[in-house]
Amino acid sequence: MSEALQSFDLTGKAAIVTGASSGLGHHAARTLAAAGAKVAIAARRLEPLVELEKQIEALDGRAIPLRLDVTDPASAADCVKAAETELGPISILVNNAGIADGKAALEVSEADWDRVVDTNLKGAWLMAQAVAEHMTRLGHGGSIINTASVLGLTGTGQVPAYCASKGGLVNLTRALAVEWARHGIRVNALAPGYIETDINRGFLNSAAGQAMRKRVPLQRFGTPEALDGALLLLASEASRYITGSVIVIDGGQSAAL
């Protein structure tokens, strides 16, 4: 294998994927494990994680399921500690846990707002802080990958808290990249467009969703596999000189007027 291809290899590295019980997080955990990483798979419900652990182990990978609520600082700290105890120093964090709102701005209650922003923005910050604390104390660097969205770069109706939280996450990515570069911690973001998962299946299959699909330059919605290349790039040494970046994976949707 060429040196360039070898730089994507994650053999022996320990990773945490938040929100691994379904959708993109579930897929990302399998992708990292297939590239050789030992993966702590974390979410609020343990049962789907135990199932995913079995799937990864069936492919000769290593995974440990951990209960995590990213909105709770104690839970975030416990998750990182348990992952490190079981797997060794954590060098990759995929901040993937997220929820969407789906209400007109005038109908969003304070509780709705807090739920979305606490999960998508505060949760990512709590996890990044907990992981970076370990990385700096142990003196090894690492890669933090925040799952933002094209809705963190552009706006649309009916998802105000989601757009605000993902926009905040994009700029948190840049701020942490600048501050933690001196510790060898790279911080980047993925900005997916519409990828069919539980979070959006209803909408994507509706008439409005299908009309939107026709406006995507590549004429289709994404699948979780569409994120694999960018994920492996950012997780591995192949991106050793990339930090503070946002990689858009949207079939060209945000490039079009």
CA distance 215 to 193: 12
For ligand NAD, the closer of residues 7 and 55 by Cβ is 55
Residue 70 touches ligand NAD, criterion: CB under 6 A = yes
Q: What is the DSSP letter of 40?
A: E
Rounded distance between C-alpha atoms, residue 181 and residue 178, angstroms: 6
236 binds ligand NAD (CB under 6 A): no
Nearer residue to ligand NAD within complex by CB, 142 or 251: 251
Minimum CB–partner distance for residue 170 and ligand NAD (Å):
11
Task: Name the one range near ligand NAD by CB under 6 A: 54-62, 92-100, 101-109, 236-244.
Answer: 92-100
User: Would you count residue 146 as binding ligand NAD (CB under 6 A)?
Assistant: no
Selected from 31, 91, 119, 143, the binder of ligand NAD by CB under 6 A is: 119
Answer whether 184's CB lies under 8 Å from 201's CB: no
| CA–CA dist 95, 28 (Å, integer) | 11
Of the residues 13, 32, 69, 127, which one makes contact with ligand NAD according to CB under 6 A: 69
Taking CB under 6 A as the criterion, the residue among 16, 17, 18, 92 binding ligand NAD is 18
Residue 173 interacting with ligand NAD (CB under 6 A)? no
From 1-9, 91-99, 137-145, 174-182, give the range in contact with ligand NAD by CB under 6 A.
91-99
Phi and psi of 12, rounded to 5°?
85, -10
Question: Catalytic residue among 37, 42, 144, 162, which?
Answer: 162
Side-chain-facing half-sphere of 140: CA atoms under 13 Å: 14
- We find the least distance from the C-beta atom of residue 202 to ligand NAD, in angstroms, to be 12
The reply to whether 194 belongs to the active site is no
By CB under 6 A, the count of residues binding ligand NAD is: 28
Mention every residue, 6+ apart, whose C-beta is less than 8 A from residue 36.
9, 10, 11, 12, 13
* Bridge partners for 185 per DSSP: 142
Least spacing, CB of residue 140 vs ligand NAD, in Å? 25
DSSP secondary structure code for residue 120 in this structure: I
Structure tokens that stand for 97 in this block: 């846990």
CB closer to ligand NAD out of 96 and 143: 96
Contacting residue, 7, 9, 34, 44, with ligand NAD by CB under 6 A: 44
For 199, 219, 242, the CA distances from 211, given in Å and listed in that order, are 18, 10, 36
Q: Which residue(s) pair with 92 in the sheet? A: 15, 143
Which residues make beta-bridge pairs with 16? 40, 93
Interface with ligand NAD, residue 179, by CB under 6 A: no
Give the Cα separation of 43 and 123 in Å (integer).
12
Give contact residues for ligand NAD (rule: CB under 6 A).
18-19, 21-25, 43-44, 68-71, 96-99, 119, 123, 147, 149, 192, 194-195, 197-200
Query: Which residues are designated catalytic?
Result: 162
